[in-house]
Amino acid sequence: MDFTKPTIEYADVWPLLVVFGVACAGVVVEAFVPRAHRFVVQTWLAIVGVVVALVGTVLVARDLDVLGDGTARGAIDVEGTIAVDGPTLFFWGMLLVFGLGGALLFAERRLEGGVSAFAGQAAALPGTEAERQASTRGLEQTEVYPLMMFALGGMMLFPAANDLLTLFVALEVLSLPLYLLSGLARRRRLLSQEAALKYFMLGAFSSGFFLYGAALVYGFSGSMGFSEINEAVRNDVGNQTMLLIGIGMLAVGLLFKVGAVPFHAWTPDVYQGAPTAVTAFMAAGTKIAAFGAMLRLFYVAFGSDRWSWQPMLWIIAILTMLVGGLIAIVQTDMKRMLAYSSVAHTGFLLTGVLGVQQASELADGEVTSLQAVLFYLVTYGFAVVGAFAVVTLVRDAGGEAAQFVRWRGLGRRSPVVAGVFAFFLLSMAGIPLTAGFVGKWAVFTVALAAGAWPVVVAAVLCSIIAVFFYVRVILLMFFEDHDVTTHGEVASVTKPSALTSATIFVGAAATLVLGVVPGPVLDLAANAGQFVR
Amino acid sequence: MNDLPWLTVLWVLPLVGALVTAFVPKAPGSALPKQVGLLFSVLTLAVGIAIAAQYDTGGGMQLTETHTWIEAFGVHYALGVDGLGLLLILMTVALVPLVLVASWNEADDRSPAAFVAWALALESFALAVFAATDVFLFYVVFEATLIPAYFLIGRFGRAGRGYAALKFLMYQLGGGLVLLGSVIGLYVVSADAGSPSYLLSDLQQLDLSTSAERWLFAGFMIAFAVKAPLFPLHTWLADTTEKATPGTSVLLVCVLDKIGTFGMLRFCLGLFPEASQWATPVVVTLALVSIVYGALVAIGQDDILRLIGLTSLSHFGFITLGIFAFSSQGGSGSILYMVNHGVGTAALFLIAGYLIRRKGTSLISQIAGVESKAPVLAGLFLVAGLSTLGLPGLSQFVSEILVLISAFDYHWWAGAIAVTGIVLAAIYVLWLYQRTMTGPTAPGDEAMTDLNRRELVAVVPLMLALVFFGFYPMPMLDVSNPTVDSLLQHVGVSDEAPTVADHAEEGAH
């Protein structure tokens, strides 16, 4: 059997390779650079790597080939496994921007008094002498940077993958480092390790579903490639039952990653237990990457079979919004509340996903579902990274103080930080003049245009529920006084270094600008065009 | 001079004022932020007057500005005023400086700068609402008004204000999100018809299917019924006015709630004329229930601010009744009613606020005999109260009689029920006056002082307006009538010719 060297279009995929390269270089740095210099080297490596990849994404986007009738731009590269098209590059851009935010939060050292927020010695059992020693010696590890870069690379590969195997590999590449990162919190080690274990167990389980689904779809279509699967679906060859079960199982794997009900159970525990910097990075990045993969899989591979998956998404979207919103009401911990709110946002995003229509059904210049989902992801990413960055600032003697009672009256003591947090919450609630409103408008519109009015009605009701739990936090911060005797110790805002401040500032500025002049980003999302088939 | 975008200046000016007020350097106890805020509100008033001076009665939409805002959504930054918008804009710009003067020391124990800044922000967004001629822009500023309102209620006022603020916001945002559903629906309909656009003038050309029109109408109407408020969506009103400061209540009830009735005229009738007529029986019934129920519940209150809040429920019932009676008297009457109610209720709230500040309580049962100690306060309160109950010679009478005419014109029973609202109004106003102002002075009131100059400055202009427009409402009618006529023409209704008994025929009998 002849072995032919695969052709790799380096000119198209090099931003991806930069990220993976930096991740590998980070491992080498861990091995060879003296401990004293590692922090600086790793931080710079990660930040420069992300920035170079971001510039690369823009450069690649500038000279994409226009295909066919001009609705899609890009090419399918690397022997049909990676599609570098408009949407992919939009996803890459988003992921790299939020990856940069994540890297900046990872590098924050002022909040913990000169060390990072990650465990000094992750292998030490909580509560043992070894852990105490690691803590008193001020040990600090820097493997988190290569781990983050690997996760980022996996996230970038996920929405670009154009066959089921690449999709699965990307899923694992993005997940495994995140499982580890979740367990690395410096404080509350047990909670963090529990989070990592839960995430890993459930994640591995869902990967199993995904792989089984991939096998069944392969059995139906005889190919792993999305375009071949699409052909098979269109020609309706083979066993329809196998296809349906396959779609369902693939959906389980993806819906787990985005945290849709009934696969959302990991979200609150992991969001709460993971170091908050990781939570911020993961909340934005995983959601973007997984929605990218879901859009490509459903629109490209199963696009001709819309009627068999749209009803399923209807039900899941409604359930996700409802359960996420209702359970968020009873939370008393900021990180858990944000976790359930992220579940509700998954539901809103699914509302956009199920709003897909044929190009012929759309009026000239009408918002497409892809455009709507892309825009929503941008707005949500900025708000969620910013909100979690603010959570890292509110601390008491025991580290971050995420319980609601600690936040009482924060608006009096630190009006600026509380005001910015309130602004992020208002954006998530979808109040006009914030980015979240435009995003919400866009996804509701495409769903309604596609005739999914029951979902839109449910979404409007769930928005009302969502407003309640966001506004209640604002009430807590601004209108209620803190009484030390009844509510215990008071949390205060620790002054962060420029890294965290910059992340929060950019998040708030983007949320405001996208709320007032969303036009440019909406146009950019429209210009991304359709997926290359 | 005419190139100046007057309406943009009108709403941007108070917003700039809010920011300047919030960030002006201040020593504790300094009056500088309040002075800056007052200056900006007076400047806004001047701009409002300049706009009124250029307004050409009967010239349709004027001072229009149209720029593309979000092309992908067909959204324009489009402003314009007609008679309806102009009157409400003038009312708003006139009320805000008075509220700031009246509440001068109200927020001194908290943060006076914040109070003034939020009030100016509220004014800014409310003015943008009254000037918006693009549905999306309207929706954005409609919702944006809630944020300053939320902070005004939640930060300043009496114990329990946090809960009141939450209730207020939940009701308003709930209504707002229902409206969002309809706004999105408009986009879908407009996109199906060709190219998506949110301009009011484009949407009026749309040919809606009957069921789509009814659904969209329902979304708009529910939101406006929460805002206005109408029975049974009114329960936030009394809680809010009870807990908020009187100044905040003026901004909420006299300015912000007008958006509800303004929206009914501009959007429900303007965009969905057939559906509006289809829904008339239900809306008129709810309006009548609001009139009677609001007045009955007001009679039973022991809290002055709650009482005044509930009287507004009754008044908003009148306004809605006038709008949905579909006649030129009803339309003009309800527009006039919006302005007169704004002036009269503002006076009531502010004077009640003075009284509460002196007594330290808002419970009617603990206040008595104010007349002898503070005759000016009592007298002005009586005038404002008499205006509320529609005494001829005061401005509310004119609008009330117009609405009643239209109600009788609609159906005799509608008019008959609405008239009971006036009788009940006499009870709640006069009984309130009798219990609080007359009788022997309550112990501990010996040191009570009458209104000082600042307090008088804030309410005397309102009194003058009540009397002036009571005797001479023509300026307002001249502005509102062309708008109502063109609106009714759009709806496709013309006034029925009065049936005069034919004497010749009678003679033949």
Per DSSP, A397 falls in state: T
**Angle at CA of residue B490, ends B484 and B496, nearest 5°:** 70
Does the pLDDT at position B493 exceed 90?
no
A431 backbone dihedrals φ, ψ, rounded to 5°: -85, 135
Instruction: Check CB contact under 8 Å for A431 and B144.
Output: yes
The C-alpha of B192 sits at a distance from chain A's nearest C-alpha, in angstroms, of 6
Contacts of B128 in chain A (CB under 8 A): none
Who wins on pLDDT, A247 or B450? A247
Who wins on pLDDT, A398 or B102? B102
Band (pLDDT 50/70/90 cuts) for residue A196 is very high
A/B interface, count of CB pairs below 8 Å? 108
Handedness of CA B151, B156, B162, B167 (dihedral sign): negative
Instruction: Check CB contact under 8 Å for A471 and B166.
Output: yes
Contacts of B147 in chain A (CB under 8 A): 426, 431
Instruction: Check CB contact under 8 Å for A365 and B141.
Output: no
User: Most A CBs within 10 Å: which of B188, B190, B226, B236, as the mutation test of the A interface?
Assistant: B188
Percent of chain A with pLDDT over 90: 58
Percent of chain B with pLDDT over 70: 96
**Angle at CA of residue A267, ends A264 and A268, nearest 5°:** 120
Instruction: Check CB contact under 8 Å for A432 and B73.
Output: no
Which residue of A366, A432, A463 is in closest CB contact with B140? A432
pLDDT score at B507? 46
Show which residues on chain A lie within 8 Å of chain B, measured between beta carbons. 362-367, 371, 426, 429, 431-433, 437-438, 440-442, 444-445, 448-449, 456-457, 460, 463-464, 467-468, 471-472, 474-475, 478-480, 517-519, 522-523, 526
Please compute the mean of the pLDDT values over residues A203-226 and round it to a whole number: 93
Quote the pTM value. Answer: 0.91
> How far apart, in whole angstroms, are the C-alpha atoms of residue B259 and residue B262?
5
Instruction: Check CB contact under 8 Å for A519 and B173.
Output: no
Instruction: Check CB contact under 8 Å for B166 and A472.
Output: yes
Contacts of A479 in chain B (CB under 8 A): 154-155, 161-162, 165
The total number of residues shown for chain A amounts to: 533
Question: How does strand A399-400 pair with strand A394-396?
Answer: antiparallel
Residue of chain B minimizing CA distance to A520: B70
Does the pLDDT at position A506 exceed 50?
yes
Contacts of A38-41 with CB under 8 Å at 24 or more apart are: A38/A142, A39/A107, A39/A109, A39/A116, A39/A140, A39/A142
**What average pLDDT does chain A have?**
89
Please compute the mean of the pLDDT values over residues B278-307 and round it to a whole number: 91
Band (pLDDT 50/70/90 cuts) for residue A78 is confident
The encoded tokens of residue B130 equal: 């009254």
Who wins on pLDDT, A479 or A452? A452
Does the pLDDT at position A62 exceed 70?
yes
> How far apart, in whole angstroms, are the C-alpha atoms of residue B185 and residue B271?
13
Instruction: Check CB contact under 8 Å for A363 and B184.
Output: no
Three-class SS of residue A440? helix
Query: Mind listing the pLDDT tens digit for each residue in A346-383?
Result: 999 999 999 888 777 777 778 889 999 999 999 999 99
Rounded to 10 degrees, the C-alpha dihedral A226/A231/A237/A239 comes to 20
User: Most B CBs within 10 Å: which of A348, A437, A464, as the mutation test of the B interface?
Assistant: A464
> What ipTM describes this predicted complex?
0.86
Who wins on pLDDT, B27 or A291? A291
Show which residues on chain B lie within 8 Å of chain A, measured between beta carbons. 69-74, 139-144, 146-147, 150-151, 154-155, 161-162, 165-166, 169-170, 173-174, 177-178, 180-181, 183-185, 187-188, 191-192, 194-196
The encoded tokens of residue B53 equal: 């001076």
> How far apart, in whole angstroms, are the C-alpha atoms of residue A92 and residue A167?
15
Question: How does strand A82-85 pair with strand A399-400?
Answer: unpaired
Question: How does strand A492-493 pair with strand B62-70?
Answer: unpaired
User: Most B CBs within 10 Å: which of A379, A412, A437, A445, as the mutation test of the B interface?
Assistant: A445
pLDDT score at B1? 46
Does the pLDDT at position A266 exceed 50?
yes
> How far apart, in whole angstroms, are the C-alpha atoms of residue A162 and residue A293?
9
Band (pLDDT 50/70/90 cuts) for residue B499 is low
Residue of chain A minimizing CA distance to B186: A445
Listed residue (A408, A373, A397) closest to A482, CA to CA = A408
Residue of chain A minimizing CA distance to B139: A432
Q: Which regions of B269-397 does DSSP assign to beta strands (E)?
A: none
pLDDT score at B57? 80
Contacts of B154 in chain A (CB under 8 A): 475, 478-479
Contacts of B188 in chain A (CB under 8 A): 445, 448-449
> How far apart, in whole angstroms, are the C-alpha atoms of residue A519 and residue B70?
5
Listed residue (A109, A129, A127) closest to A117, CA to CA = A109
Q: Say if residues B261 and B224 touch (Cβ distance below 8 Å).
A: yes
Residue in the structure block whose two tokens are 């980015």: A435
> How far apart, in whole angstroms, are the C-alpha atoms of residue A196 and residue A199?
5
The encoded tokens of residue B314 equal: 């009754």
> How far apart, in whole angstroms, are the C-alpha atoms of residue A286 and residue B305?
52
Instruction: Check CB contact under 8 Å for B180 and A444.
Output: yes
Does the pLDDT at position B496 exceed 90?
no
Which residue of A429, A440, A523 is in closest CB contact with B72? A523
Three-class SS of residue B70? strand
Instruction: Check CB contact under 8 Å for A522 and B72.
Output: yes
pLDDT score at A487? 66
Instruction: Check CB contact under 8 Å for B192 and A363.
Output: yes
Residue of chain B minimizing CA distance to A527: B72
> How far apart, in whole angstroms, are the C-alpha atoms of residue A340 and residue A265?
10
Please compute the mean of the pLDDT values over residues A232-253 and round it to a whole number: 89
CA B152 to each of CA A472, B169, B240, B244: distance values in angstroms, whole numbers, following the listed order: 16, 12, 11, 8
Does the pLDDT at position B357 exceed 90?
no
> How far apart, in whole angstroms, are the C-alpha atoms of residue A153 and residue A170?
8
Please compute the mean of the pLDDT values over residues B166-188 and round it to a whole number: 89
CA A50 to each of CA A59, A95, A97: distance values in angstroms, whole numbers, following the listed order: 14, 10, 8
Residue of chain A minimizing CA distance to B157: A479
Which residue of B74, B166, B184 is in closest CB contact with A448? B184
User: Most B CBs within 10 Å: which of A408, A444, A470, as the mutation test of the B interface?
Assistant: A444
Instruction: Check CB contact under 8 Å for A479 and B162.
Output: yes
Which residue of B139, B151, B154 is in closest CB contact with A432? B139
Q: Say if residues A404 and A473 touch (Cβ distance below 8 Å).
A: yes
The C-alpha of B112 sits at a distance from chain A's nearest C-alpha, in angstroms, of 14
Residue in the structure block whose two tokens are 């022991």: B302
Query: Mind listing the pLDDT tens digit for each residue in A136-171?
Result: 777 788 889 999 999 999 999 999 999 999 999 999
Q: Say if residues B206 and B190 touch (Cβ distance below 8 Å).
A: yes
Which residue of B139, B147, B166 is in closest CB contact with A475? B166
Whole-angstrom distance between the N-terminal and C-terminal Cα of chain B? Answer: 69
> How far apart, in whole angstroms, are the C-alpha atoms of residue A179 and residue B375?
76
Does the pLDDT at position B479 exceed 90?
no
Bond before B232 cis per omega within 30 degrees: yes
